[in-house]
Chain A
């Protein structure tokens, strides 16, 4: 194969959703990513490092390698934490290359009938439909209410099942009814009005952490913003990208794009780092599928809630003191995928009475990474232990984060490890300082 044939040779990749050849060629193999990669730290194996993964993708593009099961394995073993993107001086985005390879995996290795049906059910039916999701959680809530949860946990019944089931069960927080149906579509601004914002209420937030997003809305409203939360909001598409189903992700993205642009809001905010990262990537995901101007307009409005509050300036005159020592864990999809690192710290420091104690390696992944923590439960445990050791050293009372995936994993780890820290979303902490 001559590499000068055509601008973007796909080689042994399937043409649909393949890594761009220029993107893999960009890596000059300096290895600066190696010390930042959690899977390389675990295995010390080059193919499980960002540099190695990009080299594998390049080998496929250059027809030196078929898209073998080992590449599929690496595509899913990559946490997609994007720490390598932050570390890479050359601007290589190994995490995104692997995300695209996940999509290739589905094309090369289609699932069996049962797997396909289950996948289609979750990704194509449940997640795109907020109503169905909320009803499906009903039995889970009942199950918790009836105390079966207590029995199952104590009798270790679930030990019989596969590991991940047990972990998933153990991770579930005590569930309250979903937030979406309860939240008014428009919540008025309090005090002097500063603007009108759209709130992208993520699936995991409404289902697992309704209390957190309630605080987000309260904080925004008290900061002088009218908060519009469209009830029809669909999943952001992050789970689909993570599972390699880019087509469904595109359909969801197209829907959300129009939904929010129609609301004529100054900014579109989310309190879920995973959603935020996905929303900020709509521009690339929908390239050629939606008008450029529309995509740019949408991209220009998307903010993580911490990013937004830091940008407009926190009104601190009404804040009540919160007597607490806290440490901050940076969600990968906030600090690495969105480059938001200083802003949450700034907000925390502005809350009167709060002492921020920096932990070591605050931007090292917690090992949750969407379903990674369930697929690779042993490895996830090791990544989590590294994080918890650093948390323990701070001796802070609260462990602050800003993403539901991290929240689930950290809360589980803290509980299992018998640690004193209470895990809290940054908006919950801020909510404590805001009068009701």
Chain B
């Protein structure tokens, strides 16, 4: 347990508002958006500058506390959940956009900047920051980088990693790390920057980031295509890609998702359809016109039930916004929503949809599926009730079997949510024991004492020998 003296030191340095240790605060800072994982930290700090980060980490080291970085807590794999207690370092009060460099087309921000705030600030200067995870209104850049978040534009524009140019952060021993820069090319030694992206806070604590900005597309066309059968929608996706068209957005929603989103947003989505695709092509006006025509041709060939073009920017934006609410909207149906992040090569999409349907029937579950079809990244979401132990067993069996299917086809167990607490066993299945061993050695090199976000990505040692912070809160599966 953290000592009273340590708390006093923290309060003295960071100020009373930036150090929380009452039970009511700890209770609400030990979760993220992942179901079934909730653990209490011992103290939560909100540093407002690098010096305070260093001070807090020094205290944590002295007290032997695990250090868990946190942004807004919107993660979907439990990355910011303090599974072994300790100190949660919440970066939300380091939220200044330090610079938008219009000569080099970069933005430099503190880690706690909200993703959409950067997007808007860039847009004001006529520039574009593409990564747009579903939680962009809430999520922080630091969190996006730690989990290497994707989004609706991933297909054409890539994910967070593709925009990170430089990082500053703090290592476990209190040393500073600075990696990358504004230079477009940089092959000097190992790329620590790329190692930090997606490391889920296990290698270092990111405090500042420089990202690449690009000129925004000049034109856009948005379509909604409806389908009587979800497999036809999958086929349409494969064929669009095969026709050498890379839309900015190629999203899918199944009937369950369509209905939940419509319940919330009320924008006139077709409740009776088996699936819909939200397709956006963007770029130079001439190219957009050509691609739009080609997309429409594919949709006709596969016999989409209906195809609608969005009337103007506002309608297109409301469709994308509605799509972003899919997961939360599915949560209307049942108390517990368990979503997964399986990703396959796009040529396997149609059969993956078939498999999801088969498994849903086999395990008698309610499942809503949506996702970034163009990336082959699906989010089948089981709508369950955590109070029903038997149903939860079926949910886990469902995902177990689905991941077997995905891995057998060379897919991955996480397209964009990370491993965190939720998918450790699946990771081992995907990369093998050897792969996990190498990862552990890398972790060792950065954090020999294992104090940075322990218990994430892979298990270190026997989890049963770890001290319980508070019995009763250890509800993760």
Residues on A close to B: CB < 8 A?
A: 3-4, 22, 25-32, 34-35, 44-47, 51-52, 55-56, 59, 64-65, 68, 70-71, 74, 88-91
Contact = CB atoms under 8 A, between A and B. Distances in A.
Interface in B142-195: none
Contacts, number: 99
Given A4-B387, A35-B137, A56 B328 contact: no
A71 B24 contact: yes
B13 interface: no
A55 B28 contact: yes
Contacts of A51: 28
A29 B472 contact: no
A59 B27 contact: yes
B331 interface: yes
A90 B138 contact: no
Nearest to A32: B328
A-B pairs, 5 with minimum CB distance: A89-B328, A90-B331, A52-B28, A89-B325, A70-B24
Given A44-B93, A90-B329, A29 B24 contact: no
Interface in B115-152: 135, 137-138
Q: Is the interface of B mostly helix, strand, loop or mixed?
A: loop
A30 B93 contact: no
Interface string B247-278: 00000000000001101110000000000000
Nearest to A70: B24
Contacts of B363: none
A56 B28 contact: yes
A360 B137 CA distance: 17
Interface of B: 20, 22-25, 27-29, 31-33, 35, 46, 72-74, 92-93, 114, 135, 137-138, 260-261, 263-265, 325, 327-329, 331-332, 335-337, 386-389, 472-473
A65 to B, nearest CB: 6
B73 A47 contact: no
Contact of A56 (B27, B114, B261): B27
A49 to B, nearest CB: 8
A37 to B, nearest CB: 11
Contacts of A31: 33, 72-74, 135, 138
> Looking at B23, B92, B388, which has the most chain A CB atoms within 10 Å of its CB?
B23
A163 B472 CA distance: 44
> Looking at B25, B261, B386, which has the most chain A CB atoms within 10 Å of its CB?
B25
Contacts of A88: 328
A71 to B, nearest CB: 7
Contacts of A26: 331-332, 335
A273 B300 CA distance: 50
B138 A45 contact: no
Nearest to A71: B24
Contacts of A52: 28
B145 to A, nearest CB: 18
B391 to A, nearest CB: 11
Contacts of A47: 24-25, 27-28
B92 A89 contact: no
Nearest to A54: B28
A89 B259 CA distance: 12
A28 B75 CA distance: 12
Given A28-B336, A45-B20, A64-B473, 15 more contacts: A3-B386, A27-B331, A29-B73, A32-B328, A35-B137, A44-B46, A45-B25, A55-B28, A56-B24, A64-B27, A88-B328, A89-B325, A89-B328, A90-B331, A91-B264
Nearest to B32: A29
B325 A32 contact: yes
A154 B327 CA distance: 57
B327 to A, nearest CB: 7
Contacts of B31: 29, 55
Contacts of A46: 25, 28-29, 73
Nearest to A1: B472
A28 B473 contact: no
B135 A65 contact: no
A3 B335 CA distance: 13
A59 B331 CA distance: 20
